[in-house]
Amino acid sequence: MALIKTINFMAYRRWAQAVSFLLVVASIASLSINGLKLGLDFTGGTLVEVSYSQQADLSSIRKQLEQANYNNALVINFGSEEDVLVRLPQSKSSQLGDEILATLRQDYDGDIDLHRIEFVGPQVGEELREQGGLGLLTALICVMIYVTFRFQYKFSIAAVAALIHDVVITLGMFSIFQWDFDLTVLAALLAVIGYSLNDTIVVSDRIRENFRIVRKSTSVDIINRSLNQTLGRTIMTSATTLLVLFSLFIFGGEIIHGFATGLIIGVVVGTYSSVFVAANILLSMEISQEDLAVPVVEGSDQSDMMP
């Protein structure tokens, strides 16, 4: 993929700043107003997924459950018209799932095939919530330490800012569209951290290298040059990753849907952020040659002077 002309990415940095700012603000606003539609893993409760032998009549199922005194049951199709998902809010009884299954089977002539029953106690839900948040924080902190150690603190701030940007926007999408946020989406989010970081590091690596070899050039030029040099790779890798993710999204089934969605958004945002956000922040921190000077090893050329 030969690039014919170099793109002056940094010329668009004001625009990029505005776009990122808007997206992040919208995400935070939605997260604080709407919150996340937490899945069963985090809220606790009971879920029953069954497959009817024919197309399922949701309204009659609802009526049936109401008659059996399950008043706050949520009944929806899951993936196909035969598959039905019944979800009930928090309860302490782990028997509920079996009871619901029995109720459904009671007045139905055809076959009802049990796909799954999940019960998560309130305590466990709360713990998973805490653990999840803790995991995200730990991941960010570890990354920051690693990048500081391998690069330099300015890179580490830029990398972590890009990561927070990606995570917040991905979370924001789940909040704006009120998609179910469950454990698999959390896993996707952590994978996004890994992926986006991967991208940012490749770009940072090149920026560092160019700062060291290209003398007499402005920071903007060097960053632009680095971005252009890595652009082909950035696009290729995102493309292959998105290819497999879309395959997972389309063919992977309903359970993995949220996971694939989270990763697709994350990869798109992550690719954008490694080009615009991380580099942008590096510039605004006035990254310069001195920050990256290779320390001279003292006495490195003295061995020849031995008699």
Partner 1 sequence: MNQYSLWKYAIVLLALIMGIIFSLPNLYAPDPAVQISGESSSLVIDQEAYDIASDSLQQADIAVKQIAIVDNKLEIRLLSRADQLPAKKILQNALGRDNYIVALNLAPTTPDWLKSMGAGPLKLGLDLSGGVHFLMEVDTLAAIDTRLRSSVTSYKALLRKEKVRGIVQINDNVVTGKFKTEALRDKASSLAFKSMPEMTRNKFQREGVFYLNLELGEQAIANLEDEAVGQNLITLRNRVNELGVSEPLVQRQGRNRVVVELPGVQDTATAKRILGKTANLEFRLAVNGDTSSFNREIIAFEDSTVEIERDIIVTGESVAGAQFGFDENSRPQVNINLDAEGGKLMHRITRHAVQRKMAVLFIERKTRKIGSQLSADNELEAVYERYDQRRVISLATIQSPLGANFRITGIDSQAEAAELALLLRAGALAAPMEFVEERTIGPSLGAENIALGVKSVVIGFSLVLFFMVVFYRVFGLAANIALTMNLLLIVAVMSMLSATLTLPGIAGIVLTVGMAVDANVLIFSRIREELANGLSPAMAINTGFERAFLTILDANLTTLLAAVILYAVGTGPIKGFAITLSIGILTSMFTAIMGTRSMINLIYGGRSIKKLAL
Tell me the closest approach of the beta carbon of residue 22 to partner 1, in angstroms.
27
Q: Where do we find the tokens 């696009």?
A: 235
Q: In angstroms, what CA-CA distances link 114 with 34, 52, 77, 223, 273?
A: 33, 9, 14, 57, 43
Bridge partners of 181, per DSSP, are 38
Tell me the closest approach of the beta carbon of residue 303 to partner 1, in angstroms.
25
- Strands (E) across the chain are located at 37-38, 45-52, 74-78, 80-88, 112-120, 180-181
Residues 263-302 that bind partner 1 (CB under 8 A): 263
Residue closest to 200 by CA, chosen among 264, 267, 106, 115: 267
Residues 179-208 that bind partner 1 (CB under 8 A): 183-184, 186-187, 190-191, 193-195, 197-199, 201-202, 205-206
One of 17, 34, 77, 91 touching partner 1 (CB under 8 A):
91
For residues 121 and 220, which CB has a smaller minimum distance to partner 1 in the complex? Answer: 121
One of 8, 54, 94, 178 touching partner 1 (CB under 8 A):
94
Bridge partners of 112, per DSSP, are 52
For residues 255 and 283, which CB has a smaller minimum distance to partner 1 in the complex? Answer: 255
Stretch that binds partner 1, among 6-14, 91-99, 167-175, 210-218 (CB under 8 A): 91-99
14 token code pair: 């004001």
Q: In angstroms, what CA-CA distances link 29 with 34, 123, 160, 173, 184?
A: 8, 29, 21, 11, 24
Residues 211-250 that bind partner 1 (CB under 8 A): 229-230, 232-233, 236-237, 239-245, 247-248, 250
3-state DSSP assignment of residue 51: strand
For residues 46 and 280, which CB has a smaller minimum distance to partner 1 in the complex? Answer: 46
Residues 112-141 that bind partner 1 (CB under 8 A): 113-121, 123-124, 128, 131-132, 134-135, 138-139
Residues 23-82 that bind partner 1 (CB under 8 A): 49, 51, 71-72
For residues 119 and 276, which CB has a smaller minimum distance to partner 1 in the complex? Answer: 119
Q: How far apart are CA 177 and CA 229, in angstroms?
A: 36
